Structure 1
Amino acid sequence: MVDFLLYGAYGYTGRLITRLCAERGLTPLLSGRNAEKLEAMHREFGFPYRAVDLSDAPALHDMLREQKVVLHAAGPFIETAEAMLEACLATGTHYLDITGEIPVFAMGAKRSEAAVKTGVMLMSGVGFDVVPTDCMAAYLKEKMPEATELVLAFAWKGGMLSHGTAKTMLGGLGTGGAIREHGKIKPVKAAYDTRTFPFTAEVPLRAVTIPWGDVFTAYFTTGIPNIKTYFAVPPAQIKQMERSNWLGPLLRLGPVKNYLRRKIEARPAGPDDAQREKAETYIYGEVKDVSGRTVAARLRTPEGYTLTAITALMIVQRVLAGEVEAGYRTPAGLYGADLIMEVEGVTREDL
């Protein structure tokens, strides 16, 4: 018996999710457009599979009608999410994905009313993007209900980017960043702001603003109107981001992106097991009210891709258990600030 549909099963994160399914006794229907890769996964894990291209709406609808929920793991989601969202609305299938892309969150929110009418839940960002940061935002909102400003920042120790994450970042190359100001998302230049954050008690790290998904989702979760998100990177990378403001038109050219895409494909698909086991991630959150009073906290979590597989399946299991609410929803908005604390090894500290 199949428990749920996993689309994009043979991607780097899809494979991690598939492995964790085997450990947790869940049976996914593996899917994607490449039948050969799916057959190889079937031989490896024993799970059933079905190859369907997202452009084939009748076949996609036929597959989804048999499923209660789909976990969509085929990025870049800006290119794949719309077809899956529409198919889920047409077939009454709950939709989950692991994106961190602001336009994809907006796709789901735009369809919230339609989802309510059809009894479907649309929840993007059920992985590292954005579960730990969304939970941090909700936790701080509980600490300071009157907060008007929210800062979220993250850093990681060890690990590397998967092909999918790198290609998603490539898609946004040369387009600048985003913050939320007075309730509205505002485009800003790349490396718009830098700050030093106490991610751990040992060494503070310099971080730079990026258009992380919480610029969109944290507003839905908390109602806080001013939001910035930061990522800790080396000073040289911050300089590169600053230069991209001048090189934007060049970086957006097709030949440049094709060259960089080939460079990505030549790298390993993502961190191996040993790298993931040694790595970990840090989240810092801070809220402020109109008087300037500040409340802050930090999280320490497993490595990002590992955490994505864990939290994605945690939410799949909640959906299978009937813990759903029709319409567009955020992870912490529906499941609460302590959702992340259910993950083994996560620690949270008030500052």
Structure 2
Amino acid sequence: MQENKFLLYGANGYTGRLIASMAHQYELVPVLAGRNEPALSLMAKELSLEYIVVDLDDTDKLVNALQSFKVVLHAAGPFKHTALKMAQACIKAGVHYLDITGEIGVFELLKKMGDPFAQKEIMVMPGVGFDVVPTDCMAKFLFDQMPEATHLKLAFASVGGKLSHGTATTMAEGMGEGGAVRENGRIIKKPLGHKGMWVNFSSKKLFTMTIPWGDISTAYTTTRIPNIETYTSVSPKTFSMLKWQGVYNWVLKLSFVRNYYKKKIKKMPAGPDEAMRKKAKSLVWGEVSNAAGKTLHANLEGPEGYTLTAISSLIILKKVLSKNFKPGYQTPAACYGADLVLEIPGVTRTMA
């Protein structure tokens, strides 16, 4: 078993391709995997890599393939359809599980599977990309400054970038489902964008609204702060339109409506090109407050989201392959600390 090899499932997706193309910078060798043999074969030839064709529904073949590796990086979303199958196969094969999800339900699902992973002395860590490394590290950083915090707010923005097919498809599958917050330790459903506010990010002031970001799950695991809200930048006009969502959400949940948007997504470019990724940047803001009303703020700035995802996942992969891990369910910042995000080139963090 080669020490720097890992299985990259969903390799021919936009983010998977990016991870595969950057792996050599971290002295890592991905073996490409997925269902699409023609795409994998072409990609493997372009990058001079090995590939494996395996369907997640073929459990025996999947477990057999996994047994040749120490860790899998699962990049085939939407993860609500794929994470459980891969995680169960990892437990059977005794292989560490990493993924790049940002879905609250997936974090909560895999958290419940922590014990079987721990019993096998292996780790399950979802969210090793932009979802949720920068925000999880921000939550841990602020919690370390104020351990008695009762409330946490996290906001993020992408300046100059755009969505990949995978991200857009995941969003299409969540249309009409509303939002969520953490209140008194419990995940509570709320309308999407039920709150809005202006945020002073490091380089600009932007309007943001609440969305169901993965930190509603992970930041609580990392910090135990009982009240958490997550925000992203939107136009005030979009925010205003959401007050009517009670009227039209049922339409967005219809299969043919979601399928219509998925077909439109497939006709779009796969994701931002290299020039766009180099120019774009990601911004993160965080705030904690305690029962006495004291608040602390911090800002973080870094590479564009997909670039950051590729780098952070490779950094974490290298740690796991070097036996730097904790068995069972882990979040990035709880396992590797608030400064994990600072290992990513171009990331800066300041107290606001």
**Aligned equivalent of 2:82:** 80
CA distance in 2, matches of 1:123, 1:138: 16
SS at match of 1:333: helix
User: Which of 47, 50, 54 lines up with 2:49 in the alignment?
Assistant: 47
**Aligned equivalent of 2:14:** 12
CA distance in 2, matches of 1:251, 1:239: 18
Deviation at 1:26, TM superposition (A): 1.5
* Letter aligned with residue 41 of structure 2: E
**Aligned equivalent of 1:273:** 274
- The equivalences for 1:145-156 within 5 A come to 145-156=147-158
* Letter aligned with residue 60 of structure 2: P
TM-score normalised according to structure 2 size: 0.98
CA distance in 1, matches of 2:299, 2:221: 21
Q: Unpaired segments of 5 or more residues in structure 2?
A: none
Is the Cα–Cα contact under 8 Å of residues 209 and 231 in structure 1 kept in the other structure? yes
**Aligned equivalent of 1:301:** 302
State the superposition RMSD in angstroms. Answer: 1.0
Q: Unpaired segments of 5 or more residues in structure 1?
A: none
Q: Deviations over 1:176-224 (max 9, x none)?
A: 00000000000001111001110125x3111000000000000000010
**Aligned equivalent of 1:142:** 144
**Aligned equivalent of 1:264:** 265
**Aligned equivalent of 2:197:** 195
CA distance in 1, matches of 2:33, 2:242: 36
* Matched length: 350
* Letter aligned with residue 108 of structure 2: A
Q: Deviations over 1:289-336 (max 9, x none)?
A: 000000110000100000000000000000000011111000000000
Runs of 4+ in 1 over 6 A off after TM superposition: none
CA distance in 2, matches of 1:97, 1:248: 29
Q: Deviations over 1:13-37 (max 9, x none)?
A: 0000001013333111100011111
SS at match of 1:161: coil
CA distance in 2, matches of 1:120, 1:22: 25
**Aligned equivalent of 1:218:** 219
Deviation at 1:116, TM superposition (A): 1.2
CA distance in 1, matches of 2:346, 2:258: 38
TM-score normalised according to structure 1 size: 0.98
Deviation at 1:242, TM superposition (A): 3.3
**Aligned equivalent of 2:112:** 110
**Aligned equivalent of 2:285:** 284
CA distance in 2, matches of 1:163, 1:295: 36
* Letter aligned with residue 120 of structure 2: T
**Aligned equivalent of 1:230:** 231
Is the Cα–Cα contact under 8 Å of residues 176 and 245 in structure 1 kept in the other structure? no
CA distance in 2, matches of 1:44, 1:236: 44
CA distance in 2, matches of 1:325, 1:241: 42
Say which is worse superposed, 253-262 or 240-249, in terms of deviation.
240-249
**Aligned equivalent of 1:336:** 337
CA distance in 2, matches of 1:47, 1:158: 32
Aligned-pair identity in percent equals 50
CA distance in 1, matches of 2:239, 2:12: 33
Deviation at 1:168, TM superposition (A): 0.6
CA distance in 2, matches of 1:283, 1:188: 22
SS at match of 1:212: coil
Q: Structure 1 residues 171, 240: closer, same or farther in 2, change over 3 A?
A: farther
